[in-house]
Amino acid sequence: MRTPMIAGNWKLHKTCNEAVELVEALKAAVADINDVEIVVAPVFTALTSVAASIEGSSITLAAQNCYPQESGAFTGEVSPSLLKDAGCRYVIIGHSERRQLCGENDEFINQKAHALAAAGLGTIFCIGETLEERESDQMYDVLRRQVRLGLKGLDTTAMASVVVAYEPVWAIGTGKTATDEQAQEVHAFLRALLKELYDEKVAAATRILYGGSVKPDNVDSLMAQPDVDGALVGGASLKAEDFARIINFE
How many Å apart are CA 75 and CA 55, to the nearest integer? 30
CA–CA separation, 174 and 246 (whole Å): 18
244 binds ligand 13P (CB under 6 A): no
* 214 binding ligand 13P? (CB under 6 A): yes
Regarding 218 and contact with ligand 13P (CB under 6 A), the answer is: no
User: By CB under 6 A, which span of 49-57, 114-122, 145-153, 208-216 interacts with ligand 13P?
Assistant: 208-216
**Which residues in 79-98 contact ligand 13P (CB under 6 A)?**
95
Question: CA 131: distance to chain centroid?
Answer: 20
190-200 residues labelled b (16+ CB within 10 A) or e (exposed)? bbebbeebbee
Alpha-carbon distances of 194 from 136, 143, 164, rounded to whole Å:
24, 12, 10
Return the range that interacts with ligand 13P (CB under 6 A); candidates 47-55, 99-107, 150-158, 165-173: 165-173
Residue of the chain from 212, 246, 247, 249 that contacts ligand 13P (CB under 6 A)? 212
Q: Measured from the CB atom, is 46 or 233 closer to ligand 13P?
A: 233
Q: Under the criterion CB under 6 A, does residue 102 sit at the interface with ligand 13P?
A: no
Q: Write out the catalytic residue numbers.
A: 95, 167
Residue 59 or 62 having the CB closest to ligand 13P: 62
Q: State how far the alpha carbon of 173 is from the alpha carbons of 25, 138, 202, 214, in Å.
A: 23, 22, 31, 9
Binding of ligand 13P by 234 (CB under 6 A): yes
167 touching ligand 13P, by CB under 6 A: yes
Q: Is 213 in the site for ligand 13P (CB under 6 A)?
A: yes
Q: Which residue is nearest to ligand 13P (CB)?
A: 234
Beta bridge partners of 215: none
Nearer to ligand 13P, 202 or 231 (CB): 231
In angstroms, what is the minimal distance from the CB of 155 to ligand 13P?
A: 27
Residues that bind ligand 13P (CB under 6 A): 9, 95, 167, 172-173, 211-214, 232-236
